[in-house]
Amino acid sequence: MSSRYDQALGIKGEIAALKRERVISAAVDLFYERGYDNTTLDAVAEQLGVTKPFIYSHFGSKAELLAEICSRGINSSQAALDSVLVLPDSPTEKLALICARFVSAVLESQKHIAIFAREAKNLNDEDLKRISTQRRKFDRALTKLLDEGVAAGEFSIGDTHFAALAIQGMISWAYVWYRPDGRLSMTELSDQMAELVLRLVGTAPKS
């Protein structure tokens, strides 16, 4: 059982994380609407009704805030992938589940991905390098799963790395066309995408 001191620290940590998320969320809205260059940290502070030192207590600079936002899309996609790869399921089941969760990750990070596409040139070299490394890690993990599916006789793919890039494109591109008030719900969209991906990797079509 945790002491009252530990509990207080826990609450403090949670509040700090919550505040940090509020800063990110306000910055996402402003960077998305006005662009990175046209948004000052003063404007972010004003949007939140806080002072600029409050922002600085969470992020050292505007560029650091941008790096956090630009990392969100790939980080949540990687988390979706990791959460499935540990399961004891077959490659086919894993791939279907990864697609569904990857779709959710993309749609929930829609603005973050748009900001990354627009503003990557404003990232520090180090941050850009880190994000590129993350993306290659995701590539490799998805390719490995496709290789496992081929080895298990479940998938029929000539070039698994190419197929991994095609799958990422199908799903990532949704950030361009998805509208929250659109014809398909997020669940329908995830299910349909998973079905198309299973076809693409050459599993037998559902009868």
| Contact footprint for a second copy (CB under 8 A) | 35, 37, 117-119, 121, 156, 158-159, 162-163, 165-174, 176-177, 184, 189, 192-193, 195-196, 199-200, 202, 205
In this complex, which beta carbon is closest to a second copy, that of residue 55 or of residue 91? 91
d(CA 159, CA 86): 24
Minimum separation from the CB atom of position 195 to a second copy (A): 8
User: Which two structure tokens, joined as six digits, stand for 164?
Assistant: 């991994």
User: Which two structure tokens, joined as six digits, stand for 43?
Assistant: 């404007």
Minimum separation from the CB atom of position 70 to a second copy (A): 13
In this complex, which beta carbon is closest to a second copy, that of residue 44 or of residue 201? 201
In this complex, which beta carbon is closest to a second copy, that of residue 55 or of residue 73? 73
Residue position matching structure tokens 């004003």: 46
What is the full DSSP assignment across 125-180? HHHHHHHHHHHHHHHHHHHHHHHHHHHTTS---S-HHHHHHHHHHHHHTHHHH--T
In this complex, which beta carbon is closest to a second copy, that of residue 88 or of residue 158? 158
Residue 89 backbone zone (phi > 0: left; psi -120 to 50: alpha; other: beta): beta
Amino acid at 132: S
